Amino acid sequence: MRRTLFAGAAALLAAAGTFTFVLTRAEAATQTLQSLAAANGRYFGSATDNPELTDTAYTAILGGGEFGQTTPGNSMKWDTTEPTRNAFSFTKGDAVVTFAQAHNMKVRGHTLLWHNQLPGWVSQLPATEVQAAMENHITAVATHFRGKVFAWDVVNEPFNDDGTFRSTSPFYAAMGTDYIAAAFRTARAADPDAKLYINDYNTDGLGAKADAMYNLVKTLKSQGVPIDGVGFQAHLAIQYGFPSQMQQNLQRFADLGVDVAITELDVRMVLPRDSTKDATQATYYSNVVKACVAVTRCVGITIWDYTDKYSWVPSTFSGQGAALPWDENLQQKPTAYNAIVTALGGTVSSPSPSVSSASPSPSRSVSPSPSASSSPPPAGSCTATYKIVGSWPGGFQGEVNVTGKTGWTVTWTFANGQTISQLWGGTVTQSGASVTVKPASWNATPPATFGFLASWNGTNAIPAVSCS
Q: What's the CA gap between 130 and 288, in Å, rounded?
A: 37
Residue 24 burial class via C-beta count within 10 angstroms: exposed 0-12, middle 13-18, buried 19 and up: exposed
In whole angstroms, the minimum distance from the beta carbon of 64 to ligand XIL comes to 22
Q: What is the torsional sign of CA 46, 162, 248, 257?
A: negative
Contact present, 250 and 229 (Cβ < 8 Å):
no
Q: Which of 66, 82, 135, 157 is catalytic?
A: 157
Q: By C-beta, is 129 or 328 nearer to ligand XIL?
A: 328
* Strand, helix or coil for residue 48: strand
Site string for ligand XIL, 318-347 (x = CB under 6 A): ------------------------------
With left for phi above 0 and alpha for psi between -120 and 50, is residue 6 left, alpha or beta? beta
Contact present, 412 and 388 (Cβ < 8 Å):
no
Q: By C-beta, is 116 or 276 nearer to ligand XIL?
A: 116
Q: By C-beta, is 90 or 312 nearer to ligand XIL?
A: 312
The CB density around residue 126, as the number of other CB atoms within 10 Å, is: 7
CB closest to ligand XIL, residue no: 312
Q: By C-beta, is 117 or 457 nearer to ligand XIL?
A: 117
Contact present, 96 and 53 (Cβ < 8 Å):
yes
With left for phi above 0 and alpha for psi between -120 and 50, is residue 254 left, alpha or beta? alpha
Q: What's the CA gap between 82 and 371, in Å, rounded?
A: 58
Residue of 253, 312, 408, 414 interacting with ligand XIL (CB under 6 A): 312
Q: By C-beta, is 82 or 264 nearer to ligand XIL?
A: 264
In whole angstroms, the minimum distance from the beta carbon of 233 to ligand XIL comes to 6
In whole angstroms, the minimum distance from the beta carbon of 444 to ligand XIL comes to 30
Q: Does 233 bind ligand XIL (CB under 6 A)?
A: yes
Residue of 82, 204, 264, 399 interacting with ligand XIL (CB under 6 A): 264
By C-alpha distance, which of 460, 13, 55, 468 is closest to 236?
13
Site string for ligand XIL, 24-63 (x = CB under 6 A): ----------------------------------------
In whole angstroms, the minimum distance from the beta carbon of 169 to ligand XIL comes to 13
In whole angstroms, the minimum distance from the beta carbon of 116 to ligand XIL comes to 7
Q: By C-beta, is 73 or 404 nearer to ligand XIL?
A: 73
Number of residues that bind ligand XIL (CB under 6 A): 6
Q: If residue 419 lies in a helix (H) or strand (E), which one and from where to where?
A: strand 419-424
157 is catalytic: yes
Bridge pairing between strands 259-270 and 320-321: antiparallel
Q: Which of 66, 264, 328, 399 is catalytic?
A: 264
129 is catalytic: no
Residue 447 burial class via C-beta count within 10 angstroms: exposed 0-12, middle 13-18, buried 19 and up: exposed
CA angle 289, 295, 322 (to 5 degrees): 20
Q: By C-beta, is 75 or 391 nearer to ligand XIL?
A: 75
Q: By C-beta, is 152 or 396 nearer to ligand XIL?
A: 152
Q: What's the CA gap between 174 and 167, in Å, rounded?
A: 10
Backbone angles phi, psi at 312, to 5 degrees: -80, -10
The CB density around residue 189, as the number of other CB atoms within 10 Å, is: 14
In whole angstroms, the minimum distance from the beta carbon of 33 to ligand XIL comes to 20
Contact present, 128 and 153 (Cβ < 8 Å):
no
Contact present, 282 and 353 (Cβ < 8 Å):
yes
Residue of 74, 349, 354, 356 interacting with ligand XIL (CB under 6 A): 74
In whole angstroms, the minimum distance from the beta carbon of 312 to ligand XIL comes to 4
In whole angstroms, the minimum distance from the beta carbon of 410 to ligand XIL comes to 39
In whole angstroms, the minimum distance from the beta carbon of 84 to ligand XIL comes to 20
Q: Does 156 bind ligand XIL (CB under 6 A)?
A: yes
Cis check: omega of the bond before 24, within 30 degrees of 0: no
Q: Does 306 bind ligand XIL (CB under 6 A)?
A: no
By C-alpha distance, which of 199, 104, 189 is closest to 152?
199
Q: Does 404 bind ligand XIL (CB under 6 A)?
A: no
Residue of 45, 65, 68, 73 interacting with ligand XIL (CB under 6 A): 73
Q: By C-beta, is 52 or 129 nearer to ligand XIL?
A: 52
Binding site for ligand XIL (CB under 6 A): 73-74, 156, 233, 264, 312
Q: Which residues are catalytic?
A: 157, 264
